[in-house]
């Protein structure tokens, strides 16, 4: 190995901190959206589109940036991306219309590409046996959403609404300076071994399993994004909590889901990424089934009198089930990228960027679909019904993929035996 172990740890630390800073910007509308919805009297669909705006640009740009990371220095791309964020978030202080928030959301959504840059940057500095752990630790930068959920309400309370933009701009500027001085650049060997042939990096995209991995990531990451954006107003509307309590419970969901990602990477290294992913899906399936059941009141006709029966999940059971899902999703996000590295160790920019794009599209499409489902059905739990359906589709696809792999292995073994017996 051409670099020292201390360098790889420094790369992991700085990349994770930069990702956390960017993720805090990417999820700003989770906090701001509540006030914007009240001030502008937005419908469920309009609110979903508002939350989804940063997710859309962050998702779509992950695809091309993945290829740029295969050609150019990830450290340099990271710095340029963060420099774009400073004036963008500062401009929040001047926006006061729905169209303005949508436009600026699309611009600040560029912060979402930080994951693709970072995953390519980090993966080059670690050996295969430690990839799951390294990418799991880096992925814990999702906890940047927790920074926003904890910090943004305090900024609004003590300094006013217009102070959010300048505060976040200064924070991003500090992160740029730290990254500039402490993040190691690629070694000469890394630069020399880069393959700048575009077709080489496009070739894996012809394989079905790349898009299958993207589908899995759509659930484990896309639904995580959608939920962290949707939960504050869900707690306030369904359980009538104050904004601080709603933010605190959402913060709990985000923090636990983000922190366990490192543990999920370790489990994937030790027990196999596919095994971990399959277990994640089953845990989420059970929890989503329970969360999908709407509050229900029934009248049972009795012999002498009727019996009134009420079925409803209270806020504490809801939070428990939600956090179990969050922990499972954290394991799932780590296991998907471990699978990607197992199959495509030399294409973490292109394949990783493609899968990240599909996953982040969940953060764009699901909030809109949540709002649409609730507006049409008229039930708050319709969002969980929708996620249940997405997960069922993922599990069906994975089941047939596993079945096909087993069949192919048995076929190859039979062919090998026939060849040896001749």
Exposure string for 281-315, b = 16+ CB within 10 A, e = fewer? bebbbebbeebbebeeeeeeeeeeeeeeeeeebee
Q: Alpha-carbon torsion 345, 263, 256, 399, what sign?
A: positive
129 DSSP 8-state letter: G
Question: Which residues make Cβ contacts (< 8 Å) with residue 19, sequence separation at least 6?
Answer: 114, 115, 118, 138, 141, 144
Direct distance between the N- and C-terminal alpha carbons of the chain, in angstroms, rounded to an integer: 44
Query: Which regions of 268-319 does DSSP assign to beta strands (E)?
Result: 296-300, 307-311
**Which CATH architecture describes the domain 5-294+311-416?**
Up-down Bundle (1.20)
Residue 351 makes CB contacts below 8 A (sequence gap 6+) with 66, 204, 205, 210, 213, 340, 343, 344
Helix (H, G, I), strand (E, B) or coil at 279: helix
Which residues fall within 8 angstroms of residue 291, CB to CB, at 6 or more apart? Answer: 313, 318, 321, 322, 325, 381, 384
- For the chain, 422 residues long, give each residue's pLDDT as a single digit of tens: 454 567 788 888 899 999 899 988 888 887 787 788 888 878 777 887 888 788 888 888 887 887 788 778 888 999 999 999 999 999 888 888 888 888 998 998 898 888 888 888 887 777 777 777 787 788 777 778 788 888 888 888 888 778 888 999 999 999 999 999 988 877 665 565 555 666 666 777 778 888 888 888 899 988 888 888 788 888 988 888 887 888 889 888 988 888 887 788 778 878 887 888 889 999 999 999 999 887 777 677 766 777 776 777 788 999 999 999 999 998 988 888 788 877 887 777 678 778 888 888 887 788 888 888 887 888 888 889 999 998 999 889 888 877 776 766 666 655 555 655 55
At 397, give phi and psi (nearest 5°): -60, -45
């Amino acid at each position: 190995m051409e670099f020292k172990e201390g360098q790889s740890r420094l790369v992991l630390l700085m990349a994770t901190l930069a990702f956390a800073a960017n993720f805090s910007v990417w999820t700003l509308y989770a906090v701001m959206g509540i006030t914007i919805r009240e001030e502008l009297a937005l419908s469920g669909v309009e609110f979903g589109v508002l939350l989804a705006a940063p997710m859309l640009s962050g998702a779509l740009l992950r695809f091309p940036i993945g290829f740029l990371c295969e050609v150019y220095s990830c450290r340099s791309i990271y710095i340029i991306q963060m420099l774009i964020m400073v004036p963008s978030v500062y401009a929040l202080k001047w926006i006061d219309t729905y169209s303005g928030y949508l436009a600026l959301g699309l611009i600040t959504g560029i912060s979402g590409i930080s994951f693709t840059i970072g995953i390519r940057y980090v993966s080059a500095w670690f050996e295969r046996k430690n990839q799951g752990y390294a990418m799991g630790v880096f992925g814990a930068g999702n906890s940047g959403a927790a920074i926003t959920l904890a910090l943004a309400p305090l900024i609004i309370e003590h300094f006013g609404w217009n102070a959010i933009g300048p505060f976040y701009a200064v924070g991003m500027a500090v992160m740029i300076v730290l990254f500039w001085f402490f993040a190691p650049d690629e070694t000469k060997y890394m630069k020399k071994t880069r393959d700048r042939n575009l077709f080489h990096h496009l070739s894996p995209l012809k394989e079905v399993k790349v898009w299958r991995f993207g589908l899995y990531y759509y659930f484990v990451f896309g639904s995580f994004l959608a939920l962290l954006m949707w939960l504050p107003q869900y707690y306030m509307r369904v359980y009538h909590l104050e904004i601080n309590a709603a933010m605190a419970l959402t913060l709990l969901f985000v923090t636990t889901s983000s922190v366990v990602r490192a543990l999920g990477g370790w489990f994937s290294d030790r027990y196999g990424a596919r095994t971990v992913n399959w277990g994640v899906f089953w845990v989420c399936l059970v929890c989503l089934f329970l969360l999908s059941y709407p509050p229900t009141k029934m009248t049972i006709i009795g012999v002498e009198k009727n019996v009134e029966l009420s079925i409803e999940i209270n806020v504490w059971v809801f939070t428990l089930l939600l956090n179990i899902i969050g922990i499972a999703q954290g394991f799932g996000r780590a296991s998907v990228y471990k699978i990607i590295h197992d199959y495509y160790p030399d294409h973490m920019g292109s394949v990783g960027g493609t899968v990240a794009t599909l996953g982040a599209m969940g953060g764009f499409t699901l909030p809109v679909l949540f709002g649409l489902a609730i507006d049409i059905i008229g039930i708050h739990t319709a969002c969980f019904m929708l996620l249940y359906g997405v997960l069922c589709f993922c599990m069906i696809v994975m089941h047939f993929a596993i079945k096909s792999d087993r069949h192919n292995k048995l076929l190859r073994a039979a062919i090998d035996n026939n060849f040896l017996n001749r």
